[in-house]
Amino acid sequence: MTTTNTGILNLHPDRNLGMELVRATEAAAIRAVPFIGHGDKNAADKAAVDAMRAFLATVNFDGVIVIGEGEKDEAPMLFNGEHVGNGRGPACDIAVDPIDGTSLTAAGRQNAVSVIAVSDRGTMLDASSVFYMNKIVTGPAGIGVVDIRKPIGENIRALAKAMGKDVGDIRVAVLDRPRHEGLIQEIRDAGAGTRLLLDGDVAGGINAARYESRIDMCVGIGGSPEGVVTACAIKALGGMIQTVLAPKDDEEKQKGLDAGLKFDYVYDQDTLVTSDNTFFVATGVTDGGLVEGVRRKGPIIRTDSIILRGRSGTIRRVQADYRADRWLES
């Protein structure tokens, strides 16, 4: 067999890189546990970053972080442009969030997760110059039905019809932020119910696209990096995501234009990530609708993870038990 260094699956056709990457999200989640509910989100984040970086160094790939936590001079963050992996495998773009929901972790609230997303080198949109984007995410029923440029009420009614549901049974996830007060009211005026998220719109978007979820749609303005990460997951779930960049001011918009980004333009899953060769891996830090949080059960530490593979459309649930004494000693 001829091997190349141009794609995740070209190295070994049946290799699931996600099964290697999950070790890094598991480690990050476990290391964050002592900080749950203790009010120090920076300490939780640092512990998760250090653990994730150490495990990523062992993975057989040549990864470059496109979406990280900051620039190189902000170490110990996993910074944009940092090379990870042992350099001996496929060339990949990497998006990392050692804890998506540091504030949730610090407060002891639900839905904090550790996340890694991967695609072929050069296929992940670098939207780091514009911090926010407006998003709408649904499952497969929303494809060709929902349009981010239309009023939210119209989209809710169209999705309800496509799903064979009453409008009153539609549930829409939205980040609970002052900027969304009008949007939340419009959703309720349309007759749908809301699921307000304290943080973590990656999990909200994935749940909107996931089969048998209690959420039908996720909308609102959130982080641009999270939008790209969500797109990697949507590739496996068969749903849809549409986004429009939402610059805070003219200066940020100009930075985006200088970086080659498009405004008044709808980015979807195929323009946020141009390859179908994607992996999305998440491990629960605290309990949530996507995965359970880390649990101590006597002599073991148990983690709950999800691995989504874009090309095969595979969704794997992974539960791992670690000997607690090994982690307490290390």
Residue 154 in marked binding region: no
Q: Is 100 annotated as a binding residue?
A: yes
**Residue 282 near residue 305, CB atoms below 8 Å:** yes
Is 126 annotated for ligand binding?
A: no
Q: What is the pLDDT of residue 76?
A: 52
Q: Is position 302 annotated in a ligand binding site?
A: no
Please check if 179 is assigned to a binding site: yes
For 39-103, give the secondary structure using H, E and C: CCHHHHHHHHHHHHHHHHCCCCCEEEEEECCCCHHHCCCCCCCCEECCCCCCEEEEEEEEEECHH
Query: Does 45 belong to an annotated binding site?
Result: yes
Q: How do strand 295-297 and strand 300-309 relate by DSSP bridges?
A: antiparallel
CA end-to-end distance (rounded Å), the chain:
40
- Quote the pLDDT of residue 191: 98
CA 119 – CA 24 distance, rounded (Å): 17
Gap between the Cα atoms of 187 and 220, Å rounded:
11
Closest CA to 131 of 255, 293, 279, 309: 255
Residue 199 in marked binding region = yes
Domains in the chain (CATH in brackets) are 17-123+278-326 (3.30.540.10), 132-272 (3.40.190.90)
The reply to whether 140 sits in an annotated binding site is no
Question: Residue 24: is its pLDDT beyond 60?
Answer: yes
Identity of the amino acid at 188 = R
According to DSSP, the β-strands at 240-245 and 83-84 are: unpaired
200 belongs to an annotated ligand binding site: yes
Please tell me the distance from the alpha carbon of residue 2 to that of residue 301, in angstroms, as a whole number.
41
Residue 233: its pLDDT value, please?
A: 94
Q: Which of 15 and 257 is assigned the larger pLDDT?
A: 257
Query: What's the pTM value of the predicted model, to 2 decimals?
Result: 0.89
* pLDDT digit string, tens, across residues 237-274: 999 999 999 999 999 999 999 999 999 999 999 999 99
Is 120 annotated to bind ligand? no
97 marked as part of a ligand binding site: yes
Confidence check: pLDDT of 296 > 70: yes
Report residue 233 as tokens: 């997951």
Say if residues 234 and 269 touch (Cβ distance below 8 Å): yes
Q: What is the mean pLDDT of the chain?
A: 90
Among the residue ranges 57-61, 68-72, 320-324, the one predicted with the least confidence is: 68-72
Q: Specify the pLDDT at position 16.
A: 76
Q: Max alpha carbon distance in the chain (Å)?
A: 59
Q: Above 70 in pLDDT, residue 328?
A: no
pLDDT of residue 82: 86
CA distances 296 to 28, 111, 286, 327, Å, are 15, 18, 12, 12
pLDDT digits (tens, 9 = 90+) for 155-197: 999 999 999 999 999 999 999 999 999 999 999 999 999 999 9
Tell me which residue has tokens 């060769």. Answer: 277
Q: Check whether 186 is labelled as a binding-site residue.
A: no
Is 122 annotated in a binding site? The answer is no
Beta-strand pair 62-67/83-84: antiparallel
* CB contact set of 46 (below 8 Å; sequence gap of 6+): 76
Contact call for residues 177 and 103 (beta carbons, < 8 A): no
88 is annotated as contributing to ligand binding: no
pLDDT digits (tens, 9 = 90+) for 84-107: 988 888 899 999 999 988 889 999
Q: Is 177 annotated among the ligand-binding residues? A: yes
- Quickly state the pLDDT bin for 284 (edges 50, 70, 90): very high
Residue 278: CB atoms within 10 A of its CB come to 27
